Amino acid sequence: MHAGPFAKPERTTQGQEAKLKVRSGDEAARLVKQAYGGKVLRVQSVKVNGNPGYRVKLLQDSGRIVYVSVDARSGRLQAN
């Protein structure tokens, strides 16, 4: 499931959304690409440690596939 350019994390209210550091799948993809390099293949809206977030599938320049979780509330990235 691709989050698309205007996707929001699942089940957030407008008040919760204002507290998020990462507010869209596109923003999550940009952060992951800056941190890890390579090409973003897919972005999914998921829960990360109980918080709204994203899972980004990335093809690194080395040819390796990496999955990175993005906590939308904290902005924290974690490679899986």
Q: What is the domain-level CATH number for residue 74?
A: 3.10.450.40
The number of folded domains in the chain is: 1
- What residues does 42 pair with on adjacent strands? 57
pLDDT of residue 14: 55
> How far is it, in rounded angstroms, from Cα 33 to Cα 48?
19
Summarised one tens digit per residue, pLDDT across range 3-50 is 444 455 555 555 556 689 999 999 999 999 999 999 999 999 999 999
pTM: 0.77
pLDDT of residue 75: 96
Domain containing 67 equals 14-79
Question: Quick check: is 1 in a domain?
Answer: no
For 33-41, the CB contacts below 8 A with 24+ separation are 33/58, 35/68, 35/77, 36/60, 36/66, 36/68, 36/79, 37/61, 38/66, 41/65
- Which of 15, 4, 3 lies closest to 73, judged by CA? 15
Question: Quick check: is 72 in a domain?
Answer: yes
Question: Quick check: is 65 in a domain?
Answer: yes
Question: Quick check: is 21 in a domain?
Answer: yes
